[in-house]
Amino acid sequence: MARARRHEAAFSDYVVASQDRLRRVAYALCGDWHLADDLLQEAFTKLYLAWPRLSADRDPDGYVRTTLVRTSIDAHRRRQRRVRTVALGAGQDPAAAADTPLEERDALITALQELPEQQRKVVVLRHWLGLSVRETAAELGINEGTVKSHSSRGLASLERVLAPQRHG
């Protein structure tokens, strides 16, 4: 019982410390803050179950990230039919928008959502989170050649969409 409490305390510390950065990854993958919350909650629930055997075995960030990227986000999105109400401006970080205009920030996330799901995941893992080709392949359970082709196609598509917006 004491061990279970220790696990839960450690898990709680981890959640509080990591939920912000991990939800940003989920948001980049799905383009919707509330769906991102749902995806992250699912990942945290799996992590909760795995926590006792995971602590010594694997980096929890890696576990959650793998859970997020191996989730079928588009299928999840189609299943989501709930109506939500959110307080205006809830939790918005005013410092966050300091450098980039809102429409440009939105454009990147919107353009990303236009990519096929696997391309989107490759772009996020490789070009935002900085994983190598090998690591991205391992994370997604695909081979390295596929990572390379998804990466180049994904970037080319983003460029086509964002270039007119940036220069227009």
Partner 1 sequence: MDLKDRFDQATSGGPSHPPLEERLHHGRRAAGRRTAGRALGGIVVAATVATGVATLSTGQEDRATDRPAPAVSSPTPAPALDIPVTASMENWEPEEWARMNPRTAELTVRRGVTATNMVDPAIRGFTSVALDLTRDGQRRYVLLVRRQGIVSVSWDAPAGRTLREFVADEQDPMDSLPIATVRGTLDASLPLVGYRDGELYTVGGAEIVRVVEDPIEGFCAPNATAAVELLHEGVTYFAVLGDGNCGSSFSKLGDVASLEAIVARRRANIDWAADAQGERQRKELEREVAEKREQSDRR
Distance in Å, CB of 139 to partner 1, minimum: 8
How many CA atoms are closer than 13 Å to the CA of 141, on its beta-carbon side?
A: 7
Nearer to partner 1, 81 or 91 (CB): 91
> Which tokens sit at 89?
């401006």
User: With binding defined as CB under 8 A, does residue 127 bind partner 1?
Assistant: yes
| Of 50 and 77, CB closest to partner 1 | 50
CB of 47 to partner 1, least distance (A): 8
Residue 73 interacts with partner 1 (CB under 8 A): yes or no: no
Burial of 121 (0-12, 13-18, 19+ CB in 10 A): buried
Residue 23 three-state SS? helix
Nearer to partner 1, 78 or 91 (CB): 91
User: Is 6 one of the binding residues for partner 1 (CB under 8 A)?
Assistant: no
At 65, which amino acid appears?
Answer: R
Cα dihedral 113/89/43/32 (nearest 10): -20
Q: Does 10 bind partner 1 (CB under 8 A)?
A: no
Phi, psi of 134 (to 5 degrees): -60, -45
Binding letters toward partner 1, positions 15-54, x by CB under 8 A? xxx-xxx-xxx-xx----xx-xx---x--xxxxxx-----
Using the minimum distance from each CB to partner 1, give the nearer residue, 81 or 99: 99
